[in-house]
Structure 1
Amino acid sequence: MSGEREPVPHYVSPEPFDPYSVEAMTPGQIKYASAGPRTLMWLRFRRHKLAVISAIFLLLAYGSTLFTEILSPYGLNSRNSAFILAPPQAVHLFHEGEFIGPFVYGLEYRLNLETMRREYEVDRNKPQPIRFFCTGDQYRFWGMFEARLHLMCPAEGGTLYVLGTDRLGRDMLSRVLYGARISLTIGLIGVAISLALGMILGGIAGYYGGMPDSIIQRLIEILRSFPELPLWMALSAALPVDWSPLLIYFGITLILGMLDWTGLARSVRSKLMALREEDFCTAAELMGASPARVIGRHMLPNFLSHIIASATLSVPSMILGETALSFLGLGLRPPITSWGVLLSEAQNINVVVLYPWLLLPVVPVILVVLAFNFFGDGLRDAADPYS
């Protein structure tokens, strides 16, 4: 009707935009906000690219110890007296412009009567193709059954010394691979011993306090007052000479583990002293939980990620400790083969100058130690709830 006025629309002011509302979040932000502690730790760890690469490298390194016999071109004790202290043979793909696949050039030597040294020359007229998944030296796989399968082998009647040979004509690459099994596992076993001692003694000191805490703290101070390497050397030298190689291995592992628990014990003690006053610990005690259950079921899981990161950073010190002791002749001894035992042959500076490839076992030591450090840094950052 002409006399009636049209209704004025009611204006409703829009609600203020909340950037933290669920509607404003992307799917990735929603996933991150609703993730649990383990998922958050994994998401933070993935952003540490160097730590991820180190984790993959360590996984491959430890995985290779399961198939050492197959990966090695030669057996552990296989020797060729015709190629003593032979230099490394480079791997090539092309011969005179023609692609023929992976191969090495043969070596020929002559005895220099003036210097009484073997001098090797590369024979570029005789390429020796590398065979893969082939039959080679016989071995007992994990000491259980006989086998002859190798990932790569030299050509028939040829040689394959990618890292050269030692003073007995043994392939250095094969010995480095066999040494990895000892050097890598001794770090894990030593850390397991150190972890158990650190968590038990640190847990007792942090939970009970008082006299147990004072006794454990004084013990830690006494152990830390001794220089680490001389103490390792003294205890290693005290091992009986007539012990078998297996007992020497476990003796060195026990020494490394029992002297490296002090730092972890202090860390566990400080964490438990802060957690024992929390409400959930008091509630567990009022419900009748034993101290062992309160520590193991309620306290330790709250900083388990920190313990894992600390243990990861302790493995390199174990590997370096075994390498140093074996290098000085106080650790593992032949016939056990480790990276430290291999490096003991390069103690003489004259040998290093004449045969520098004897120092090549130090390369995997450096790579593994760096990988563990980067991996531990990534785990520590990922486990930090304030990161």
Structure 2
Amino acid sequence: MASETMSYAGATVAPAQSKRETQMGLMWRRFRQHRLALVSLWIVIAFYLVAILAEFLAPTDPSAYSARYTYAPPQGLHFISSEADGSWQLGPYVHGYKTEIDTKAMRRTFVIDDSVKIPVQFLVASEPYKLAGIIPMSVKLFGVADPRAPFYVLGADRLGRDLLSRLIHGTRISLSIGLAGVTLSLFFGIIIGGFAGYYGGWFDSAVMRVVEFIRSMPTIPLWLGLAAAMPKDWSALQTYFAITIILSLIGWTELARVVRGRFLSLRTEDFVTAAQLDGASDWRIITRHMVPSFMSHIIAAATLAIPGMILAETALSFLGLGLQAPIVSWGTLLQDAQNIRTLATAPWLLTPGICVVVIILAMNFFGDGLRDAADPHGR
């Protein structure tokens, strides 16, 4: 019997153990070397956590309004305060407001009153609600104990509604539309592009002509035309699903071309021929053998497609042809920023646009890093 160890110069050396690493493990190891993509991943995770925990994180009801504080400026959070006796006190608080009259514009303006301090508390009791529509809760992450006290960390809109709370709830709608739209695009792209690349022939030609026709149409007018075709008497939920389906019907073409190209190169591989000779059905060959072989590329392509879905929803809602009130999304929030005069007096209404820029950049960097990690020929 062969010995399991080898002796060399009086020392016993055990044979090296072969360590097998999965494709996803190799992909993750290479992805971690892309520092910018890794940071972007954590930013994307943070945004989606905000979307999931929107009711808990938002300090007030996004639809609650106060005519007394229309266009109230951001108060800003402070954590260290100086007392009259010269001592220092730790604890979050915001300053109150005082009103002044602008003699030139002849209108009321709000000014931060440094003499008034409103304490901010954590885990504040609130009206009962359901977290994500499932878990009953009656506590908020932070807020003020006195519901009559103003609390506008990011300012208020034209109806005196808290912009921070509306921004948090809008994160859920905008990000979920992107995720749901890409999921449907994945389904259409993999099925249609996969069968086109696997069978080829007239079916492949027909699919490619349809893809080229859709991609040749101007994107913005196509979105506007399909969105304008929706009945005006639809509910907010119906409009939400309609926008998602519209974006998916337009966004599947690029992924279908990617999947078709991969299938054209894979259908002549030995493992596909072996599966055919073994009697496997076409559906099993496609779903169990061909698609998993380049699933990492599909994930990377889907990650890069989500920003396009978010921008599409934001553009439609901003132009008034997408989601409408009372649904709160980044696009509907930006509708208040269309007026130059409004922006001159309330520039904080552009905050949703900053969120759009941040999440788009983060997802693009994350998708680039994922694509580089999934490329077997990359460095």
TM-score normalised per structure 1: 0.89
Which residue of structure 1 aligns with residue 270 of structure 2? 279
1:117 & 1:152 partners in 2: Cα distance?
Answer: 33
1:182 & 1:317 partners in 2: Cα distance?
Answer: 15
- Counterpart of 1:44 (choices 30, 34, 56) is 30
Which residue of structure 2 aligns with residue 211 of structure 1? 202
Query: Which amino acid letter does the alignment assign opposite residue 240 of structure 1?
Result: P
Query: Which amino acid letter does the alignment assign opposite residue 46 of structure 2?
Result: L
- The range that moved more, 112-121 or 61-70, is 112-121
Query: Which amino acid letter does the alignment assign opposite residue 50 of structure 2?
Result: S
1:68 & 1:181 partners in 2: Cα distance?
Answer: 7
Which residue of structure 2 aligns with residue 104 of structure 1? 94
2:128 & 2:340 partners in 1: Cα distance?
Answer: 35
- Counterpart of 2:109 (choices 106, 115, 119) is 119
Identity %: 49
Which residue of structure 1 aligns with residue 48 of structure 2? 62
Please report how far the alpha carbon of residue 271 of structure 1 lies from its aligned counterpart in structure 2 after TM superposition: 0.6
**Deviation string, structure 1 residues 18-76 (Cα, Å, up to 9, x no partner):** xxxx99x9x9xx86xx4232211111011111111111121121122222111111112
Please report how far the alpha carbon of residue 282 of structure 1 lies from its aligned counterpart in structure 2 after TM superposition: 1.0
Paired residue secondary structure (1:121): strand
1:116 & 1:147 partners in 2: Cα distance?
Answer: 45
Which residue of structure 1 aligns with residue 216 of structure 2? 225
- Counterpart of 2:314 (choices 293, 305, 323) is 323
Q: Is 1:345 the equivalent of 2:331?
A: no
- Counterpart of 1:130 (choices 107, 113, 120) is 120
Paired residue secondary structure (2:44): helix
Which residue of structure 2 aligns with residue 259 of structure 1? 250
**Deviation string, structure 1 residues 324-376 (Cα, Å, up to 9, x no partner):** 00000000000100000000111111111111011111111111111111110
| Contact residue 195 and residue 311 of structure 1 kept, 8 A | yes
Distance 1:138 1:166, change over 3 A: farther
2:104 & 2:23 partners in 1: Cα distance?
Answer: 70
Which residue of structure 2 aligns with residue 193 of structure 1? 184
**Aligned length, in residue pairs:** 361
1:210 & 1:67 partners in 2: Cα distance?
Answer: 49
1:262 & 1:99 partners in 2: Cα distance?
Answer: 59
Which residue of structure 2 aligns with residue 335 of structure 1? 326
Any gaps of 5 or more consecutive residues in structure 2? Answer: 1-13
2:157 & 2:331 partners in 1: Cα distance?
Answer: 15
- Give the aligned CA root-mean-square deviation in angstroms: 2.0
TM-score normalised per structure 2: 0.91
Any gaps of 5 or more consecutive residues in structure 1? Answer: 1-21
| Contact residue 124 and residue 144 of structure 2 kept, 8 A | no
**Deviation string, structure 1 residues 284-336 (Cα, Å, up to 9, x no partner):** 11111111111111111111100000000000000000000000000000010
Query: Which amino acid letter does the alignment assign opposite residue 94 of structure 1?
Result: I
Paired residue secondary structure (2:349): helix
**Larger Rg computed on CA atoms:** 1
